[in-house]
């Protein structure tokens, strides 16, 4: 996205925010203040999962399965 040159202060529309987000995702250490709404927060969480190596991803999915199974049992009880 070499043609997108807006700075964080110049972002006005949601499309501008998405383009800025995509272009600079690798550079973010934390979630910038302009991305504090729920959609961008969920997207940051998904991006964190995407950078897991296979072993970490397998452990995460296994623990998530245990959590969901336990929640289902609790909800059914």
Residue 47, CB half-sphere, CA atoms under 13 Å: how many? 16
Name the burial class of residue 23, with classes exposed (0-12), middle (13-18) and buried (19+) by CB atoms within 10 angstroms of its CB: middle
Token look-up 């934390």 returns: 30
Q: How far apart are alpha carbons 36 and 19 in whole angstroms? A: 16
Q: Is 10's pLDDT higher than 80?
A: yes
State pLDDT tens for residues 44-64. 888 888 888 889 889 989 999
The pLDDT value given to residue 28: 83
Extents of the domains making up the chain: 8-76
């Amino acid at each position: 996205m070499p043609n997108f040159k807006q700075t964080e202060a110049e972002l006005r529309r949601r499309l501008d925010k998405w383009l800025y987000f995509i272009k600079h995702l690798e550079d973010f250490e934390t979630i910038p203040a302009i991305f504090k709404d729920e959609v961008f927060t969920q997207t940051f969480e998904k991006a964190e999962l995407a950078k897991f190596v296979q072993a970490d991803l397998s452990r995460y999915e296994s623990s998530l399965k245990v959590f969901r199974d336990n929640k289902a049992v609790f909800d059914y009880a």
